[in-house]
Structure 1
């Protein structure tokens, strides 16, 4: 099981990001690592919320688009019936019509995660 959430870099480490916050994933087998945009050229964040917001940006830039083969549901934005969905990596899936299946709409209806568990 993977446990993702903001974690503070040990303030005692002799590193540029010591004491800063990053979005990370941990599991018993591999350990803990920075994920999303915090895994790249990120200098860390002053708060856990800022790290979560940085990960949310990553999620919004990596939207999964799909469809429900045999069912339709109302679009979460306009209530038009649709079989289309959009989801965030390791996040919720939302029923959105063609016009509303966008990064901007997902940014409106989602928020930065506190933590995520996935396998």
Structure 2
């Protein structure tokens, strides 16, 4: 199954990121596997990150992202703000990170933009 445009796939491959392209119930998605997390910020060293690809992607922006395992901030031992709701996809209960995107540039942005948004959200989570 191919969910990503070839330029997005090349970007992930070029960064040596492991990923799966999947579809469930008509919803296309990419799962970034074993994404390293900022050292000492979370109760896990790495997580899988789910990015749902809306119809019209890459001209239409992905919105939120989702993590497995569920991530807690260290040492506060709590979920980050607006990252405490479940989302079922692929028979798994993902942690929804409600981080909305209002700056997507059609024809310019792609999976690289979403990866950077995920990395930034993880680095600044409070």
- Note whether the superposition's TM-score is higher than 0.5: no
Q: Which one has the largest radius of gyration?
A: 1
